Amino acid sequence: MSFTGKYELLSQENFEPFMKALGLPDDQIQKGKDIKSISEIVQDGKKFKVTVTTGSKVMQNEFTIGEECEIEMLTGEKVKAVVQMEGNNKLVANLKGLKSTTELNGDTITHTMTMGDLTYKRISKRI
């Protein structure tokens, strides 16, 4: 199953409390909660390039399944991580105390981030 495609954010749960816990300033959280977000994923075998455009902010990460890489977090901080593939439709990474799971089902991607007992969920649809 290929992740390649463009996806538009449909809904998100627990955005504000999760971003606060990450340490983002309130003004950034308020700006970010209603902005349209487009994710573009290019998959070439085990190599991935993920570009997330939210308003004027563009965040780009590249990684290869099973190899250490540097990933930019929502705070702008770069951390080392290893992204693993579970089955043929789920990407899992642990980033500095945060677990990130991206699952593809048909044309829908569900991205879940968990930190302690706090979970943030984004649902995006292929456009």
DSSP 29-90: HHHHHSS-EEEEEEEETTEEEEEEEETTEEEEEEEETTSEEEEE-TTS-EEEEEEEEETTTE
Q: What is the pLDDT of residue 8?
A: 97
The predicted-structure confidence for 32-63, as pLDDT tens digits, reads as follows 888 889 999 999 999 999 999 988 889 999 99
The predicted-structure confidence for 96-121, as pLDDT tens digits, reads as follows 889 999 999 999 999 999 999 999 99
Mean pLDDT of 13-38: 89
Fold of the domain spanning 5-126: Lipocalin (2.40.128)
Does residue 31 carry a pLDDT above 90? Answer: no
Q: What is the pLDDT of residue 54?
A: 86
